[in-house]
Amino acid sequence: MSVRLNPDLRNELVRFGIGDWNACYHCGTCTAICPLSEEGFLFPRKKIRLMQMGLESQLESSVEPWLCYYCGDCTKTCPRDANPGELMMSLRRYLTSTYDWTGLSKKFYTSEVWELAWILFFAILVVISFLVVLPSFGYQYTAELTPEGGVKVNSFAPIPIVEAFDWIMALIVASLLISNIIRMYYKIIWKNSKTKVSLWVHIREFWLLIFNFAVQPKFSKCDDKRYWLSHWFLMSGYTIMFIVIVVYLPWFQTEEILPVWDPQRWLGYYATFGLLFGLTVAIIGRFRKKDVKFQFSHISDWLFLIMLTLTVITGILIHIFRINGMPMATFISYIAHMAVLVPMILIEVPFSKWSHLAYRPFAVYFTQLKKHAVPK
């Protein structure tokens, strides 16, 4: 069966950061050098070809871009300076937008104004909530300190309300991500008219999801292991923080100053360290532009780093100000923290760069399913 080209796809892909895609003349050096490319899942060359031709449906059903962790070896060895690594990165952005049924992802990726406006909108909502809405219900800032000399955080940020809000946010994000993953599954596995995958295979391979999420073994196969390590610190820090904020908020956001050996303290410190370490490596990398993976920064790459860094810094400030009894400083940094965190979670996680936390492990899972697919 023949596939119709979409000649206008190139104009669209350019907006996702694809540069000079016609430079590639298909020598296949990139595919040969890639430690992750394997029989049946060959990239980057094959994907570049689909891109060049505008084979939209083929591209949308590709799982390969998610199997690339951007070590940059392909770009370094490309004889035509076609930059296959960045082409794969751009494809991941494009795929994220095709999985998203709301169409917002495409908007955010292709329009900086649109993205910044929404971030600002959510930030303002947060500020209004803390300055107007919550005080009208009696939750307001107080200069009073706890007997130990800590700040009374719960007075302006009541745990039940923040926790309820956390859960609502988590549910929204989760439902968006899950529905998008279903769409991803439909495009990659279900729509394939030639092969089918048995239910048993689905169940048997499911454990891969958790394993891949926790360890990222694919990433560690890249020749340069440093980025796997820094990414792992960032990811583990983020995950711990996410869990304690959403699931264990009453335990985490205490007014009481717990001893340093309490898990609340050291888990928080580890998560902060992990996040800071990963972020520092990425930010310095993107400034130095020495490694291929950091040479080309799309606006979404920078926004992701800036917002996460601001979240971490304001989080650290809250902690310092709180245990040192500085109520106003704590109040301001708490609002700032939430004003960055909320839009970051609502925009970046389901619609932008952060969605990869879901798509990557699922891509490995789907790859495994494809390997065990049988002809219909």
Interface ranges with another protein (CB under 8 A)? 1-5, 7-8, 10, 20, 22-23, 26, 46, 49-50, 52-55, 58
Residue 31: name the closest of 50, 48, 18 by CA. Answer: 48
- Within a 10 A sphere around the Cβ of 367, how many other Cβ atoms? 20
By beta-carbon proximity to another protein, the closer residue of 22 and 198 is 22
Residue 323 C-beta: closest distance to another protein, Å: 58
Residue 61 C-beta: closest distance to another protein, Å: 13
By beta-carbon proximity to another protein, the closer residue of 22 and 102 is 22
- Within a 10 A sphere around the Cβ of 8, how many other Cβ atoms? 10
By beta-carbon proximity to another protein, the closer residue of 3 and 210 is 3
Residue 42 C-beta: closest distance to another protein, Å: 11
By beta-carbon proximity to another protein, the closer residue of 49 and 370 is 49
Query: How far from 101 is each of 20, 122, 179, 180, 315, CA to CA, in Å?
Result: 28, 21, 8, 7, 33
Residue 77 C-beta: closest distance to another protein, Å: 19
Residue 194 C-beta: closest distance to another protein, Å: 14
Residue 304: name the closest of 278, 327, 324, 330 by CA. Answer: 278
Q: Which residues contact 126 (CB under 8 A, 6 or more apart)?
A: 335, 338, 339, 342
By beta-carbon proximity to another protein, the closer residue of 24 and 176 is 24
Residue 165: name the closest of 142, 134, 138, 141 by CA. Answer: 134
Q: What does the chain come to in residues?
A: 376
